[in-house]
Amino acid sequence: MTDLTKLTISQATTGLKNKDFSAVELTTSYINQMEKTDNLNAYITKTTDNALSQAKIADNNIASGNMRPMEGMPIAHKDLLCTKGVKTTAGSKMLDNFTPDYESTVSQKLAESGCISLGKLNLDQFAMGSNGQSSFYGGTKNPWGNDLVAGGSSSGSACAVSARSAIASTGTDTGGSIRQPSAFCGVAGIRPTYGRCSRWGVVAYASSLDQVGPIGKDVRDCAIMLSNMSGHDEKDSTSANIPVPDFEAVLTGDVKGLKIGIPKEYYIDDMPQEIAKIWDNGKKMLVEAGAEIVDVSLPHTKYALPAYYIIACAEASSNLSRYDGVRYGHRVSGKELDEMYELTRSEGFGEEVKRRILMGTYVLSAGFYDAYYIKAQKVRRLVANDFKKAFESVDALLTPITPSPAFKIGENQEDPVKMYLNDVFSVTLNMAGLPGMSVPVGLSDSGLPLGLQIIGKAFDEETVLKASYALEKQAKFDATPNI
């Protein structure tokens, strides 16, 4: 039998239908791969016994002709999605012993579609980071090199798919946390439009920016995942009440007549030559597929990154105020209530989380609210307006997704600003609430994966996926890590 962990979701589904193998065999293959790649630290919690029980149910459903859309698919969830009866930590000491008695809407939808959960995946604490190294449970390593970061914050989500220890995964994207690690690990990942997937049951970082999305081996797997995890949720007031298309159906490879915009502001100073080269190659690939390249301008792009960090940190400061040692989570006793708060939050939060809480509290404080937070919100509107104007003349945008390939563990660690600059290409669409997808298209000079990003109009994931699929077909990226 071939290595089942090399199959995509669509291939594995066909194999199960044809009874080439069973869901138990498929799940067992992934469990074995989880153990083989345990050194990468992609998982915080493994639920293998429960996964095998679910696989037996999947086999019974297939045998009785009741096969669901993703029956028997062994996936894993970023440990930011609450899972009933399974520890949900947000990669933090603060929630080290938190076991929810409820299920997030997205993980529930995927379970109802037939998915099997292998466990919970590693991440930067409370999804705050770009390298996957701030987790209380230790950093995630990149399958392409044990000395390389896997990206962040969805480090385990991208690592697990790249290392074939999950067929697909869920992630969250606040400023690039699905797309950046996907690019670093050589897999595909899409950040849907804000409101496309419910945020109910997802530990909050920055509520107006967070969005759940899928990471898969290819564009088709992401489309299948997205179709089964999207939809209106009455429990989430920001969830959009609009129909969910069949995202897989748009993957025809035909982009004839599609206009793809190239924003001139993304040509940043000191852009590495290999990033500029892969971007130029991406344009040529889409032209060969039948698309038309159009130059566009997003004039407020240079202000997006600082405005993003003001807004994200302000919302983090507010959201994380609930972790006080009183109601749930980590607690350190003190002589008085104030001392208990101080000791609990000092010990329960990591350095990066504390840094962002302090920044957020500062910009929300009296005397600075208007100068920083309100001004950042005005910039956010200008950034959104730039996209709106650009989409009057184009159907989608093509940009780089990272300013470099995966970097060494420990690099930039002592310079937070340098680390924040890793998000320079990704945060703009989060500010505007737009969908964007990272597609692996080539290798760097050092043999590491490089991705490009397709950005679309709000709730037009169909065009994003269509263009991404055409780019993927042209790129023919088939490199894999040596694991």
Out of 22, 29, 78, 457, pick the active-site residue. Answer: 78
Integer Cα distance of 355 and 415 in angstroms: 12
Tell me if residue 165 is catalytic. Answer: no
Out of 153, 154, 162, 239, pick the active-site residue. Answer: 153
Tell me if residue 418 is catalytic. Answer: no
Tell me the three state secondary structure of residue 121. strand
Compute how many other C-beta atoms are within 10 angstroms of the C-beta atom of residue 467. 27
Q: Which of 193, 248, 249, 196 is nearest to 220 (CA)?
A: 248
* Cβ atoms 207, 360 nearer than 8 A: no
DSSP state of 155: H
Tell me if residue 153 is catalytic. Answer: yes
Q: Which of 378, 377, 423 is nearest to 400 (CA)?
A: 423
Strand ranges of the sheet holding 212-216, from the earlier edge strand across to the other edge: 43-46, 116-121, 74-78, 168-172, 212-216, 188-191, 436-443, 449-456, 396-400, 259-263, 292-296
Which residues are bridge partners to 75 per DSSP? 117
DSSP state of 34: H
Q: For residue 347, give both structure tokens.
A: 């010990």
Integer Cα distance of 127 and 80 in angstroms: 8
Sign of CA dihedral 181, 186, 191, 196: negative
Bin 385: left if φ > 0, else alpha if -120 < ψ < 50, else beta.
alpha
Out of 165, 177, 198, 239, pick the active-site residue. Answer: 177
* Cβ atoms 100, 87 nearer than 8 A: no
Integer Cα distance of 74 and 120 in angstroms: 12
Tell me the catalytic residues: 78, 153, 177
